[in-house]
Chain A
């Protein structure tokens, strides 16, 4: 298993080595020591490998991820897994703002809390937060699922499109055009699968969640406005 110590190796060397991996590589399990909050760790990966980061990560960790599994054994800074396309990012501590922002796919698991703007403009990613999320989360969320085992802050799902939000705890406030929606059997099933993927299917029941989504009342949803184009 390759191990890279960031106390003696630069982040560019680390990311360069990860980017250079051939899809058929046997070096599929990497460990990164002494991350010390450095930015852009394991960003831009495109190989089916696992990268363990042994500590806190800075901004944009595992950004643009494709295929890879990135595990942060600490907290992650702003924009963890931003614009992820596929793969899995698992933060064992807390995540800062804009976790999973604009991401198209893959799974982001946060064992602790995520702060403001979690899942902002998400476009297909699945996010499971085992703690609570901060204000303005899922702002303009377009597609994908955001699952929160704890509470959500103010203005959840403001101007949301078609993403599905599942919150088990309190929601401090819903943003414009975001409403509570019925939990139908297909939502229970989808939620069950997501909880399973996050490893909490045994302890957390899908029935304990409420679903939130778009009321589809804002400008873009009105057919009368189609004439403007």
Chain B
């Protein structure tokens, strides 16, 4: 089943409340996905620095050890089972190599100038509370509540998936040609860390974006290349997009006001948003790309 939520703010005045609003939306979608949850938040970025969201064992010592190894300052912001590392952007390659060699049990689940990504097994409200979602700020965020159907209930299998800098995707549905897509994408340098079909969709979009497509163009192309059922909500550093498969197999409802664009698998997820009574509430059409970009 699964539930998806997304919130893209147009009004800066709401940015301090992004996490609080997203947390409320995510919790309502518990009925659609009670076994695990995850979310990505596009918060503040620092010029010249990159953030890596990591999870695994022994997170306490990572920042110090990595600072020593790089001889540069690495900041760490712990969030329960996850840690967000902030480091000079030119250190990313060396830092990744160091983590892979010295701390192979640690997974990098998100990387970019602004993205932070969290996911865990458990009820959505508990997952949100553990990571302190309600206090997070930012311009846009997407979330997912999972009801696992085709792979185990693990943190690895939880959404969102991120396969490129500041990119993430959440998916409701299932893809039937993910194995062949994976074989097509891996030689092109798109790396996957799970067997999940949704990660392949994320990787497909990362590949298209790398080749120069806009987010909207990448999603247009996916209509030809992806086979299966899907409602996607996708985030990039400055963009937010929604796409449903041509027979609109999975539910979706959107609301737009002067202050925000919001997505929910059901309208119930949107009722806590400010001004929802007067929002333009609509159902996104099948096979039509909806994309917003920050100016």
Residues of A within 8 A of B (CB): 36-39, 55-56, 58-59, 75, 77-78, 93-94, 96-97, 115-116, 134-136
Contacts and interface: CB of A to CB of B under 8 A. Distances in A.
Nearest to B270: A37
Contact of B268 (A38, A78, A96, A134): A38
Contact of A96 (B247, B277, B283, B286): B283
Contact of A94 (B266, B277, B282, B286): B282
Interface in B247-272: 247-248, 251, 253, 266-268, 270-271
A41 B205 CA distance: 39
Nearest to A37: B267
A56 B281 contact: yes
Contacts of A36: 268, 271
B156 interface: no
B27 to A, nearest CB: 14
B283 A94 contact: yes
Interface residues of B, number: 15
A96 B271 contact: no
Contacts of A78: 251
12 contacts: A37-B266, A38-B268, A58-B266, A75-B267, A77-B253, A77-B266, A96-B251, A97-B283, A115-B285, A116-B248, A134-B248, A134-B286
Which 9 interchain pairs have the tightest Cβ spacing?
A37-B267, A37-B268, A36-B271, A115-B283, A116-B248, A56-B267, A96-B283, A75-B281, A37-B271
B242 to A, nearest CB: 15
Interface of B: 247-248, 251, 253, 266-268, 270-271, 277, 281-283, 285-286
Given A58-B267, A116-B248, 20 more contacts: A36-B268, A36-B271, A37-B266, A37-B268, A37-B270, A37-B271, A39-B268, A75-B281, A77-B251, A77-B266, A94-B283, A96-B251, A96-B253, A96-B283, A97-B251, A97-B283, A134-B248, A134-B286, A135-B247, A135-B248
B28 to A, nearest CB: 9
Nearest to A34: B271
Find the residue from B253, B270, B282 having the highest chain A CB count within 10 A.
B253
B111 to A, nearest CB: 36
B61 to A, nearest CB: 47
A75 B276 CA distance: 13
Nearest to B246: A135
